[in-house]
Chain A
Amino acid sequence: EAGVAQSPRYKIIEKRQSVAFWCNPISGHATLYWYQQILGQGPKLLIQFQNNGVVDDSQLPKDRFSAERLKGVDSTLKIQPAKLEDSAVYLCASSPLAGVGEQFFGPGTRLTVL
């Protein structure tokens, strides 16, 4: 079974530029999560989708971050404009069902904002 795929793996941009990350979850997984992991911290949830609907985006900085999950499969996370403090690893995870259980993580996208 293929795991969660993410691209790109690395991205370097200048502040005020925009950037987008892509995630393909494990086939059949209804729930998809985006986490932000700043160096030295644990992952922090940004947004959770159930199929193509948003369940929780309370920690997403909506003035600059947006995310969508068209057709309930792939998802994109966008930052526009980027700030220096957005430098982090962006992790996508999926799980077969909502609720308690294991979440399967992709390898992440490392973003550096200069």
Chain B
Amino acid sequence: DQQVKQNSPSLSVQEGRISILNCDYTNSMFDYFLWYKKYPAEGPTFLISISSIKDKNEDGRFTVFLNKSAKHLSLHIVPSQPGDSAVYFCALYSGGGADGLTFGKGTHLIIQP
């Protein structure tokens, strides 16, 4: 069973517009949420994170929103740039002694000129 769902395998957005990537989870034990970006043939790189005690975190063009009651988080990128074309993973942490991340399947974002 999938604990973390990214239902859009791909998303195409025009350069300069807003990109919105979504992530849903089922386990309410998750309490820290991260977004990673991955280019081909490279490892994932950290983008932005949010704690469960917050509902929004902003870093430059990137904003993450968390709706705990809906078990939903989203990543907004505005304005979208060609270099943003990549696969985006949401990754969730549930605490406890082990702190491996649980990843979604990823969304391939394509920024069109």
What range describes how many residues of B lie at the interface? 20 to 34
Q: A96: CB under 8 A from chain B?
A: no
| B45 and chain A: residue at smallest CB distance | A105
Q: Could you pull out 8 A-B pairs where Cβ atoms are within 8 angstroms?
A: A4-B43, A42-B4, A93-B43, A99-B95, A100-B51, A102-B49, A105-B36, A105-B44
Q: Could you list 12 further interchain pairs (A-B, Cβ under 8 angstroms) beyond the known A43-B44, A105-B45?
A: A35-B100, A40-B105, A42-B91, A42-B104, A45-B100, A55-B97, A58-B98, A99-B95, A100-B32, A103-B101, A105-B44, A107-B41
Number of interface residues of A (CB under 8 A): 26
Q: A108: CB under 8 A from chain B?
A: yes
A68 CB, min distance to chain B CBs, angstroms: 18
- A102-B105 in contact given A4-B43, A48-B98, A56-B100 (Cβ < 8 Å): no
Q: Given the complex, which residues of A lie within 8 Å of B98, measured CB to CB?
A: 48, 55-56, 58
| A4 and chain B: residue at smallest CB distance | B43
A-B contact count (CB 8 A): 59
Within 8 A of A (CB), among B1-48: 4, 6, 32, 34, 36, 41-46
Query: Within the complex, which residue of B6, B46, B102 is in contact with A102, where a contact is CB–CB below 8 Å?
Result: B46
Which residues in B have some Cβ–Cβ distance to A below 8 Å?
4, 6, 32, 34, 36, 41-46, 49, 51, 89, 91, 93, 95, 97-106
